[in-house]
């Protein structure tokens, strides 16, 4: 007998819609699977057999995050197939900071009403993010929660874990004065600071559809630009140079995130003129009258990730990153200090 409950449906939860959503998302999930994935979707847990060849002392590194209020832009535009990339990016970009290779990802979608086509569209983005990160979407959960969420809204969060050889964990122990700070460009605002972004632009269904000549597209399309995933270029870099520190620039901007990869007794000196910021940040600052200090303490300002390498290896590091299609550049240097960021 097929699972079905009329009483449950009358309360607002249609379990058959969940089954349909699973069927629709299967083709997207299939893009991420490989021989290490030992289970399909539908079980109580995702099974994955890691390949630990060449890893003497494996250490698992985990990360979890959500998309935040950027989802409000998706609700207003009706575009749901990119926020999943953001969800994956916010997790795997954290994991790579320890030098770990992401292996698996799981998502959690909570919604007021399960519309199978919308859920499948969200998972399409999650799958694309997993493909970009080289990890497997081993499972997830869709929770229909009437009266808890509005029918046309949802929340999206994710969890990922990866592995690194203990001897290769990035600790910064070899960091020295004169080491070079490299910038890996962002694709835009990414998934942070959207409470401020929404306030600045007075976000509504009308404003997200407004064409902006600065972006050559609508405001909604610009703000929904997915977070860039840095896993593959950074993994390539780790095999070629001595990386001393990596920071994922998320909420808190430069001032909060860059110090997380710097050893005690050092600071990062950055010339503001070196920062290559996309037009969206200039527009946000202008429209919101936001001070420069607050911009650098809220947004990535065009730098989605920073990597610290010895000065003697900076040129080689840039060659590797450029070869991976990443337009990296020198952002600053390591100096003696109190662990903070010096913007000059």
Taking every pair of C-alpha atoms in the chain, what is the biggest distance, in angstroms? 70
pLDDT, mean of residues 223-232: 98
Element (H or E) spanning 124, and its range? helix 116-133
pTM exceeds 0.75: yes
Question: Checking DSSP bridges between strand 217-218 and strand 211-212, what pairing results, if any?
Answer: antiparallel
Q: What is d(CA 117, CA 261) in angstroms, rounded to the nearest whole number?
A: 41
Res. 2: pLDDT tops 70: no
| Positive or negative torsion for Cα 299, 303, 308, 311 | negative
Give, in degrees to the nearest 5, the angle at Cα 26 between 25 and 32: 100
Please give the pLDDT value at position 233.
98
Per-residue pLDDT reduced to its tens digit, 115-157: 999 999 999 999 999 999 999 999 899 999 999 999 999 999 9
Q: What is d(CA 91, CA 62) in angstroms, rounded to the nearest whole number?
A: 8
Please give the pLDDT value at position 109.
97
Please give the pLDDT value at position 88.
98
Per-residue pLDDT reduced to its tens digit, 65-100: 999 999 999 999 999 999 999 999 999 999 999 999
Contact (Cβ atoms closer than 8 angstroms) between residue 73 and residue 223: yes
Contact (Cβ atoms closer than 8 angstroms) between residue 329 and residue 303: no
Q: What is d(CA 36, CA 88) in angstroms, rounded to the nearest whole number?
A: 19
Q: Residue 2 contacts by C-beta under 8 Å, 6 or more apart in sequence?
A: none
């Amino acid at each position: 007998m097929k699972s079905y409950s009329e009483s449950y449906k009358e309360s607002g939860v249609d379990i058959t819609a969940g089954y349909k959503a699973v069927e629709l998302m299967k083709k997207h999930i299939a893009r991420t699977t490989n021989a290490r994935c030992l289970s399909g979707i539908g079980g109580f847990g995702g099974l994955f057999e890691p390949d630990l060849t060449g890893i003497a002392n494996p250490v698992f590194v985990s990360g979890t995050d959500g998309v935040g209020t950027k989802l409000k832009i998706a609700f207003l535009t009706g575009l749901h197939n990119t926020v999943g990339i953001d969800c994956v990016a916010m997790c795997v970009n954290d994991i790579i900071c320890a030098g770990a290779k992401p292996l698996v990802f799981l998502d959690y979608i909570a919604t007021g009403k399960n519309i199978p086509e919308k859920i499948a569209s969200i998972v399409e983005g999650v799958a694309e993010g997993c493909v970009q990160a080289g990890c497997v979407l081993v499972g997830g959960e869709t929770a229909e929660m009437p009266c808890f969420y509005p029918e046309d809204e949802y929340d999206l969060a994710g969890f990922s874990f990866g592995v690194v050889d203990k001897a290769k964990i990035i600790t910064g122990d070899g960091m020295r004065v004169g080491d070079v700070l490299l910038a890996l460009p962002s694709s835009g605002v990414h998934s942070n600071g959207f409470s401020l972004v929404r306030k600045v632009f007075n976000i509504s269904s009308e404003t997200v559809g407004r064409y902006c000549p600065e972006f050559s597209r609508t405001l909604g399309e610009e703000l929904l630009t997915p977070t860039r995933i840095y896993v593959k270029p950074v993994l390539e870099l780790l095999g070629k140079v001595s990386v001393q520190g990596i920071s994922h620039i998320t909420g808190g901007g430069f001032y909060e995130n860059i110090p997380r990869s710097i050893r005690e007794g050092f600071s990062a000196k950055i010339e503001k003129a070196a920062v290559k910021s996309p037009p969206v940040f200039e527009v946000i600052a202008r429209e919101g009258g936001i001070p420069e200090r607050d911009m650098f303490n809220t947004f990535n300002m065009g730098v989605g990730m920073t990597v610290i390498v010895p000065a003697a290896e900076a040129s080689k590091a840039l060659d590797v990153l450029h070869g991976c299609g990443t337009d990296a550049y020198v952002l600053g240097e390591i100096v003696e200090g109190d662990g903070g960021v010096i913007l000059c």
